[in-house]
Amino acid sequence: MEKREKWAAVVITRPGWDQVRLLHRYRTMTVWLPKRFHDSGLLADEEVRYYAKPLSQWVREVFHDYDHWIFVMSVSLATRLIAPVIRDKHRDPSVTVVDDGGHYAVCLLSCHAQDGNEITRDIARILQAMPVITTGSESLEVPALDLIGREGNWHLEDWATLSHLSRMMLEKDPVGVVQESGSPCWRYRDSFSRIYDGWEYVPAPVFQEIRGWLWITHRRVSVPRQVEQAPILVYRPKVLSIGVGFSRNTTVEDLEEMVSETLNTNHLSSHSVDTIVTIDRKRGDGALEEWAQRHGWKLQFVSPEELNRVPLNHRHFNPSVLEATGAYAVSEPAAILGADGGSLLVSKCKSDRVTVAVALKTAASRSWEPENDSR
């Protein structure tokens, strides 16, 4: 289940409250007001709370209780208030600052990681204010690498490399893309002039020209010798479907051990796993649900009839499995169904209690370069 994002606004003046009332029509939020506003007649049924402590102390106590903040005050005051509690861009909420007159909306914190820029633009639109966006990718109109794959929930592997490659993009250094899996429809794709379906398709001269790489892949393998010293930002698209069959009283540890071994042996990333698929008679199994939830993987249940319709060679099926489940096989057809008919990457692997197969969701794409490029 998706976590519901929590919004808050803090106001220090009555004109500031006028701005928040406009915003509150479009967004449910907790509004924090000075204690002196209590019983002032300004408030209706909105969710309102009051702070009586010094503002700086109160902000330190509640800042990380919310995902998104609107500070209606000056940028300098907002900066002083949040400075002592800032952690890092992965854990801090977004902060948008609006002046009391509603003329400007300024994105101050977590502009990309928490969608602060987009939120600021929305706030400005509602207030008919001017959005102030100062991140380099927006001001210089270059791709924001940390937003690539956001819609598909791709996993970004190395934030340190992100900073290096982002600086290269801002300085117009050539960056190439190798995309081995995942949807070809991702944000900023058209900004890259060289995209290849695999390292083996990259021409030798291009290795010399390109200074950094974006690698979109489900595989955990070594990069070619030619790029070992180059910065490579790895994205893991959610493209793997794992079909599992297991006996009664199988534990979380049994499932974890077998699936981890299968992924590691076949050089596949657990961050690319999207769905766990099994037969519907396993619905409600506590170990299965706990294991999938622990990793944040989706669970999908399919009927014996659906499993049997998948075109596989069942000459060597286990009669006892058919008798117990009504299906010729579970793990392989389940994996393929979870991959929307994609290709089977790993045939059935089994331990004493668990069988596992892995399939890949496929998307049509081709390597391409600018036409008439003689380099």
pLDDT at 103: 98
Q: pTM surpassing 0.95?
A: no
pLDDT score, position 39: 63
Predicted local distance difference test score (pLDDT) of residue 370:
37
Architecture of domain 7-134: 3-Layer(aba) Sandwich (3.40)
Res 42: pLDDT = 52
Q: What is the pLDDT of residue 314?
A: 67
pLDDT at position 138 is 86
Q: In this predicted structure, what is the pLDDT of residue 1?
A: 44
What pLDDT does residue 324 have? 87
Fold of 240-360: Nucleotidyltransferase; domain 5 (3.30.420)
- 3-class secondary structure per residue, the chain: CCCCCCEEEEECCHHHHHHHHHHHCCCCCEEEEEHHHCCCCCCCCCCEEEECCCHHHHHHHHHHHCCEEEEECCHHHHHHHHHHHCCCCCCCCEEEEECCCCCEEEEEECCCCCCHHHHHHHHHHHHCCEEECCCHHHHCCCCCHHHCCCCCCCEECCHHHHHHHHHHHHCCCCEEEEECCCCCCCCCHHHCCCEECCHHHCCHHHHHHCCEEEEECCECCCCCHHHCCCCEEEEECCCEEEEEEECCCCCHHHHHHHHHHHHHHCCECHHHEEEEEEEHHHCCCHHHHHHHHHHCCEEEEECHHHHHHCCCCCCCCCHHHHHHHCCCCCHHHHHHHHCCCCEEEEEEEECCCEEEEEEECCCCCCCECCCCCCC
**pLDDT score of 320:** 82
Q: What string of pLDDT tens digits covers the 375 residues of the chain? A: 456 899 999 999 999 999 998 998 898 899 999 988 876 555 555 588 889 889 999 999 999 999 999 999 999 999 999 999 999 988 999 999 999 999 999 999 999 989 999 999 999 999 999 999 999 888 888 888 988 888 788 999 988 899 899 999 999 999 999 999 999 999 889 889 899 999 999 999 999 999 999 999 999 999 999 999 999 999 999 999 999 999 999 999 999 999 999 999 999 999 999 999 999 999 999 999 999 999 999 999 999 999 999 988 766 677 888 888 999 999 999 999 999 999 999 999 999 999 999 999 987 433 333 333 333
